[in-house]
Chain A
Amino acid sequence: SQELEQSPQSLIVQEGKNLTINCTSSKTLYGLYWYKQKYGEGLIFLMMLQKGGEEKSHEKITAKLDEKKQQSSLHITASQPSHAGIYLCGADVGSGYALNFGKGTSLLVTP
């Protein structure tokens, strides 16, 4: 089965700083989803990557899928308190099937 490892497990950054979260797969990724979860809430879709080398951005968040398609990174520029939450990567295991998620990275942004 496919294992997803996220690093770091948790992160505390000062407001305005940049940060990167990594998601490494034990197998080739055919589709990689990034979601954000706030405490007590469901998951919010951020973006999805399919092609090796692909990069997508939304507001101050950029995600990349490496050429070998076994790792993805999520980069936040000039972090804000609103970025706080748990970031989860999920691998697409087949057309329409459920996602296989990593354990998540907990982000806290301090003033």
Chain B
Amino acid sequence: EAGVAQSPRYKIIEKRQSVAFWCNPISGHATLYWYQQILGQGPKLLIQFQNNGVVDDSQLPKDRFSAERLKGVDSTLKIQPAKLEDSAVYLCASSLWPNLAGVSYNEQFFGPGTRLTVL
């Protein structure tokens, strides 16, 4: 079974530039999460989708970050314009929820992440 795919793996940009990250979740996973992990910190949720609807975007800096999952499958996260403090690893995860098929917990499967450096 293929895992969560993310691209690019690394990106270096200058502040005020824009950048986009792509995520393809595991086939059949209805829920997709984007997390931001700053060096030395745990991942922090940016946005959660169920199919193509937004479940939680309360921590997404909407003045500069946007995300979409138009067909309920793959997703794109964009930053425009980027700031120095956006340097982080952006992790995409997916899960079967709400279709857990008898499993009692919601295991999230993570992609390898995109490491963004803003200069």
User: Is A12 in the interface zone, CB < 8 Å from B?
Assistant: no
Please, how many residues of chain A have a CB less than 8 angstroms from a CB on the other chain?
Answer: 24
Bound: A102/B41 CA distance, A: 7
**Contact mask B101-112 → A, CB, 8 Å, 1/0?**
000111111111
Q: Quick one: CB contact mask for B86-113 with A, threshold 8 Å, 1 for yes?
A: 0000010101011000001111111111
Inter-chain CA distance A52–B96, complex, in Å, is 25
User: With contacts defined as CB atoms under 8 Å apart, how many contacts are there between chain A and chain B in the complex?
Assistant: 68
Task: Give A55 Cβ to nearest chain B Cβ, in Å.
Answer: 16
One of A14-22, A35-43, A63-71, A77-85 contacting the partner:
A35-43
Q: Is the CB of A98 within 8 A of B42?
A: no
Q: Assuming A98-B33, A98-B48, is B43 touching A43 (CB within 8 A)?
A: yes
Docked complex: A42-60 residues within 8 A CB-CB of B = 42-45, 48, 50
Chain A residues whose C-beta falls within 8 Å of the C-beta of B104 in the assembled complex: 50
User: Is there contact, CB below 8 Å, between B110 and A42?
Assistant: yes
Q: Are A103 and B40 in contact (CB under 8 A)?
A: yes
Q: Which of A42, A48, A97 is the one whose CB lies under 8 Å from B105?
A: A48
Additional 18 contacts, C-beta under 8 A, given A44-B110, A99-B45: A41-B113, A42-B4, A42-B91, A42-B93, A42-B112, A43-B108, A43-B110, A50-B104, A88-B43, A90-B42, A95-B97, A96-B31, A96-B55, A96-B95, A98-B33, A101-B43, A103-B41, A104-B41
